[in-house]
Amino acid sequence: MNIVCIGGGPAGLYFALLMKKRHPGHQVTVVERNRPYDTFGWGVVFSDQTLGNLQAADAPSASEILGAFNHWDDIEVNFRGRTIRSGGHGFCGIGRKRLLNILQRRCEELGVRLVFETDVQDDLGFPDADLIIASDGLNSRIRGKYAAAFQPDIDLRRCRFVWLGTHKRFDAFTFAFEETEHGWFQAHAYQFDGDTSTFIVEAPEEVWRRAGLEDMSKEEAIAFCERLFAKYLDGQPLLSNASHLRGSAQWIRFPRVVCRTWVHHNGRAPVVLMGDAAHTAHFSIGSGTKLALEDAIELARCIERAPGDLRQALADYEAVRSVEVLRIQNAARNSTEWFENVARYAQLPPEQFAYSLLTRSQRISHENLRLRDKAYVERYEDWIAEHAGLHRAPPQQPVPPMFTPFRLRDVTLKNRVVVSPMAQYSCVDGLPADYHLVHLGARAMGGAAMVVAEMTCPSADARITPGCPGLWNEAQRDGWQRIVDYVHAHTDARIALQLGHAGAKGSTRVPWEGEDQPLASGNWPLISASPQQYHDGVSDWSRAMNRADMDRVLADFVRSTRFAAQAGFDWLELHCAHGYLLSSFISPLTNQRTDEYGGSLDNRLRYPLEVFRAMRAAWPDQLPMSVRISAHDWVEGGITPDDAVAIARAFKAAGADMIDCSSGQVSPKQRPVYGRMYQTPFADRIRNEAGIPTIAVGAISEADHVNSIIAAGRADLCAIARPHLANPSWTLLEAAKIGYHDLAWPHQYRSAKSQLERNLDREKQMAAQAAGLSPLEQARQAEGV
């Protein structure tokens, strides 16, 4: 086979040597536009896991690379005069030039033809090639030529950064944050050889411009950075090796590259994207070079597995690597956004700021950090607990963040787990009875701090289905009081009520008889902000509310609020999400009014705020009220996360104590991006920008998720839905899974506690033995980037 690699970076060189090693008879050529010892940038970073992959692929080059690495375990965070360290991270740094030279020498040993100082303009210049690798970097000409086939999506991120070096030797991967009159700057620094470190300086573009860096010469900009970060440099200067760049050109915005496909046949041979030509991952998780090398490993492996069938090999390569790359890019996106929004997190205490940084990608979780550095995590857990009013006296276990108490007004929750409101559609005439007593009572006994009853309607025509609960008469009030009294008498949990009006999504069948389908008979009239048909051609049409409708519905909500107080609920939530009545006012997708209740966001919020204020006035002052919102409609032209912050601020000003951060369900055209904890970023942003406590919801399914969210200050409570349907005692089980044994169980259930804990400990030990890995090795394998 005749293979040509266009571009002599890590991807092209490594693929060339792997193919030549496996098939010495192949003709393999690497064509590079620069000279052998040219390089731009300084050091690159690998995880220990990546080194293992290199060792398996080609031991000679891996051995030389390992010998050239500078290794560290610690990450150091410098913020507001504090230095906080955690260990066990297992990263290595190597000079980019040194890495390329090692790969170049190994290629020459194996017989790969290296052609330098040749600027390839077109892949068709290699008519005899059987396979062309487009490893020509971030600004790939080949990708650009075949853009219609590869369909690249290039997103220029909002920070400017400059890649510098210094002879100050850092003994940890060091992050430094400095606030200026213009805004926050941050540095990423790590040592990569015996006397040199990479030193990347970064700031949001608006901060960079306000500081005047756009108009500075290269020398002036470096001097600015030296002054700003002087206390970390110990008198050492900052250095640039980008001699080809002048002035502000050395400050770039990171381009996130995603390609829909990676393989295209040019009419003569397949052209395959590899490395930065196919994808990029932000330098803050150090994965660009890792991805390039692992692309090369996987393509060589796929060709080996499908001898004589190059088409199949290339299809396998794209299928396997696109999934892994997407996983890394998702983590990189989270990390990128964290650094773009340092100002959002700068109000956190240094301890929490550092923890938030360490877990920013969502790939490193609370328990993963514990495996890396148990002492650090336990110190941090004690800090979290003390701020919640708990003081540990050894030999007591440290209290995981999810089991710290939380107080709002006069209500104290024993921990941070909430049973999310989940529609059960099991009432007759809106009356909660035995089903809800068992359903909510069982979950109140299961360890959660609070159970939230499903959306309850203030009138019969406010229901989603005939099976939905209501609170518009005294019989319903008394039915709820029976359930509230049970929870208070037999558990230490609190119980909340969520009030909401279905609007245009009402008068439908229960889901198991046809979800979102209108009733076969007995439908009631629907109202909403504007005329609406939720499912085109299927749902009944609603009509726009007039002033009389608004007054009636507001009075209904107030009546239900008073009944809720009489029933003894501890907490009240107003449902303003998911396309229901009040949500239909907020979203521009469903509000086309031209009066004072339509148009701007302030106008669209007017009626929901009127309802909320009236309810707040009727609700006991000592008890909390929260509001559930859709923080993202996931439809072009709908509510965005930016809007969500403004919505939260408006409800906060009206007296809301907390925002319950959900998303979607406003339009059937929505296109959510699902994943674990996928809605938590909304809670994070609202909490830390609007300055109001939040509830995180959505794909939070294990204790590790809850601990990570609470510890990082991304939300104050976590609402868990479906896991509680599967197991009413989810919270008790999760405590046992993470080895936290100090959680109180109901007296009646205590005989099962120790047995469960022993069984889970035995399962953990057996799994570790079967894997043959130490806890730290397991952590790095599972989560390390």
> Which residues are part of the catalytic machinery?
580
Q: Which residues of 93-128 are buried (b: 16+ CB within 10 A; e: fewer)?
A: bbbbbbbbbbbbbbbeebebebeeeeebeebeebee
277: burial class by Cβ within 10 Å (0-12, 13-18, 19+)?
buried
- At 512 the three-state DSSP class reads helix
Give the integer Cα–Cα distance in Å for 535 and 540.
8
Distances, alpha carbon 750 to alpha carbons 156, 445, 732, 743, 755, in Å: 56, 12, 11, 11, 10
| 173/91 Cα distance (integer angstroms) | 8
Q: In what order do the strands lie in the sheet with 70-72?
A: 43-47, 91-95, 70-72
Structure tokens at 774: 């130490």
User: If DSSP states are collapsed to H, E and C, what string results for 212-226?
Assistant: CHHHCCHHHHHHHHH
Closest CA to 686 of 653, 645, 656, 628: 645
Backbone angles phi, psi at 550, to 5 degrees: -60, -45
What tokens does 50 get? 């990546």
Q: Is the preceding omega at residue 518 within 30 degrees of 0, hence cis?
A: no
Going by the DSSP 8-state scheme, the letter that residue 359 receives in this structure is T
Residues in the chain: 785
Cα 322 to its chain centre, rounded Å, is 19
Within 8 A by CB and 6+ apart from 310, the residues are 130, 131, 270, 303
Dihedral angle over CA of 547, 551, 556, 561, nearest 10 = 130
Which residues are bridge partners to 187 per DSSP? Answer: 176, 201
**Gap between the Cα atoms of 526 and 288, Å rounded:** 53
**Apex CA 259: angle with CA 253 and CA 261, to 5°?**
165
Query: CB neighbours (10 Å) of residue 617?
Result: 11
663 vs 115: CA distance, rounded Å: 53
DSSP code, position 549: H
Is the Cβ–Cβ distance between 199 and 189 less than 8 Å? Answer: yes
Backbone angles phi, psi at 254, to 5 degrees: -70, 125
Instruction: Kindly calculate the radius of gyration of the chain based on its CA atoms and give it in whole angstroms.
Output: 29
Cβ neighbours, 10 Å, residue 556: 21
What sections of 491-546 are H helices per DSSP?
Answer: none
Please state the φ and ψ torsions of residue 68, each to the nearest 5 degrees.
-95, -5
Cβ pair 569, 560 in contact under 8 A: no
Amino acid letter for position 669: K
**Widest CA span in the chain:** 88
Helix pair angle (730-737, 753-771), 10° resolution:
50
Residue 217 CA to residue 599 CA, distance in Å, equals 47
**Position 517, amino acid:** Q
Distance of alpha carbon 142 from alpha carbon 365, whole angstroms: 39
Q: What is the DSSP letter of 400?
A: P
What residues have CB less than 8 Å from 175, skipping those under 6 apart?
75, 76, 77, 78, 186, 187, 188, 189, 357
One-letter identity of residue 715: A
